[in-house]
Amino acid sequence: MVFRIFGLLFSFFILSPLFSQNISGSRLEEIQKRGELRVTGNRNFDPFYISDPKDGFPGFDVELGKKYAEFLGVKYTFTNRPEFEDYAEAIKNGEADIAFSGLSSTLERSKKGSFSSPYLVSTPGALVNKNALPPPPEGNIISTVYFRSIKDLESVSGLSFSVRAFSSSHEYLLSIFPNSRIFTYGSMESAWNSVKEGQANCFVGDSLYIKGLLLKQKSILSNFRALMEPVQENHVSALLPKGDIYFSRNFEFFLSEFKRTGELKSLEDKYFNRSDWVK
């Protein structure tokens, strides 16, 4: 209760006209004066953004961004950009205020902006062609060999991997499978398509992206095995202007309340545990 009262008081003061004198130069003050929160991300990234959405299902990050704009009492606007470098540059030069785009925080990326606390936690996952996996031991009706995470593939020979370049999944592959064939692509969609076309036999990507694929097309599991048990934590966070403590603290308070009330969990279930958003 004490922490909740403190949080409410903090929110009141940081949003009040009196306190705005002390946040001169913060992006938060600019947003309030402008009456608009400018969000950026990649709209071709189901289900964070859904390019051709059903009514009521615009995408996880769309709804999160709109909720934050509503909390600030300003209008929400969105501009589409393809990559992290584009988000960071837009935020730095003032063309955008915040990025929501299923972003995993890394030490290298943190040099270009400030990351919030995670609002989702994922892991590198994989979709591996079942033909590339060894058959169960002869005579076993139920196999005692299980493949649940990408790390379980260390003992499998002849694998080739397809992954988005410079992603956290790519970094993980290089550390665990340094001697394997790894094909890199500019997007997770391109990497997955290369596996479907037979150029590699294992797609590696963020587990949330894989969940989205499986919700859209359950038939994938007839030919591929999904490996999504955690091997490391990927923190999906918002990207904010570097060094802007007032803006960061304001968003952190919003996020903590969004979690506390259960709204964040409901939003996660809506897009990652149910397929109602799929056309």
Gyration radius (Cα) of the chain, Å: 21
For residue 139, what pLDDT is reported? 56
- What's the Cα-to-Cα distance from 43 to each of 49, 70, 120, 173, 277, rounded to whole Å? 5, 21, 18, 26, 15
Q: Which domains does the chain have, with CATH numbers?
A: 27-121+236-273 (3.40.190.10), 124-135+145-227 (3.40.190.10)
Q: Quick one: which of 75, 81, 77 has its CA closest to 62?
A: 77
For residue 9, what pLDDT is reported? 46
- Between vectors from CA 58 to CA 118 and to CA 27, what angle results, nearest 5°? 50
pLDDT tens over the chain, length 279 residues: 544 544 444 454 444 443 444 567 899 999 999 999 999 999 989 999 998 999 999 999 999 999 999 999 999 999 999 999 999 999 999 999 999 999 999 888 999 999 999 999 999 999 999 999 988 666 555 554 579 999 999 989 999 999 999 888 999 999 999 999 999 999 899 999 999 999 999 999 999 999 999 999 999 999 999 999 999 999 999 999 999 999 999 999 999 999 999 999 999 999 999 999 999
For residue 78, what pLDDT is reported? 98
65 contacts 39 by C-beta, under 8 angstroms? yes
For residue 137, what pLDDT is reported? 66
Q: What is the dihedral of CA 206, 215, 203, 224, to 10 degrees?
A: 140
Structure-token pair, residue 59 = 């995408």
Pairing of strands 36-41, 239-240: unpaired
Work out the end-to-end distance of the chain between its first and last CA atoms, rounded to an integer number of angstroms. 43
Structure-token pair, residue 133 = 């996996």
User: What does the DSSP assignment read for 76-111?
Assistant: EEEEE-SSHHHHHHHHHTTS-SEE-SSPBP-TTGGG
Query: Which residues, including other chains, have CB under 8 Å from residue 92's CB and lie 6 or more apart?
Result: 112, 113, 241, 242
User: What does the DSSP assignment read for 14-50?
Assistant: HHSHHHHGGGTT-HHHHHHHHTEEEEEE-SSBTTTB-
Spatial distance between the Cα atoms of 104 and 106, rounded to a whole number of angstroms: 7
Spatial distance between the Cα atoms of 112 and 149, rounded to a whole number of angstroms: 31
For residue 166, what pLDDT is reported? 86
For residue 3, what pLDDT is reported? 43
Spatial distance between the Cα atoms of 123 and 112, rounded to a whole number of angstroms: 23
Spatial distance between the Cα atoms of 124 and 175, rounded to a whole number of angstroms: 12
**What does DSSP assign to residue 150?**
G
- Measured over the CA atoms of residue 135, residue 217, residue 191 and residue 168, the dihedral's sign is negative
